[in-house]
Amino acid sequence: MDQRLPAIFVGDAPGLDFLNSIATPIDTAIDWIDDGDGLLNWLEQAQLVPADALKNIQTQALPGELDKVADQARSLREWFRGFVRKHKGRPLAAKSLAELEPLNRLLAREDSFSRIVAAPKGEKAPLQLEMVRRWRTPEALLSPIGETLAQLVCTEEFSNVKACEGPACTLLFADHTRGHRRRWCSMAICGNRAKQAAHRHRLKAQH
């Protein structure tokens, strides 16, 4: 696994965290899925794919195969970023469905099935139904990403999807705060920078 900084998860929605997998946390832009290893790392940090499945796919992948899937993931990310930037800040309308056809095509590749398993101790029923995904090829790694994007579209109130107000920040987030007054990706990063800038401005105005 590589040595890049830990990925950023400030979106309050997995689909937005995927868009935030490229960012400029300090001075230089970092793309956490710039190659196959980066994609595996990011999926592990996002807890979208079980660690054993990631290991098996990495072991069985042909040379360059994971890099191609990472390339597809980046293309998906930038396409969906365009959709989110276009529709954020207002309710999503049913007519936007036509724009989501590429995402529906990705979801149609899903390779999963249901099976009956023993329920955890303490549950009333002894058996329960569990959805299981087959990880047959590296391209299967795109399926859980597609699901997070679909969940964002279907369950998130797009009126509350915002871009950080930091001048150079590209991060997006779902504002779940009371009153929906969140302005920054995080107070530790852009919020603190804004406070410092405002303080410097006040000092300058006093002189």
Report yes or no: 152 and 12 within 8 Å, Cβ to Cβ.
Answer: no
pLDDT of residue 86: 97
What are the structural domains of the chain?
A: 14-104+138-206 (1.10.3300)
Q: Report whether pLDDT(25) > 80.
A: no
Q: Which has more confidence, 48 or 192? A: 48
Beta-bridged to residue 130, according to DSSP, are 115
pLDDT of residue 191: 62
Instruction: Pick the closest to residue 141 from 109, 115, 113 (CA basis).
Output: 109
Which residues does 31 contact at the CB level (< 8 Å), separation at least 6?
21, 22, 38, 74
* 48 token code pair: 């979208």
Output b/e per residue, 108-122; b: 16+ Cβ within 10 A: eeeeeeeeeeeeeee
- Provide the residue type at 141 as one letter: L
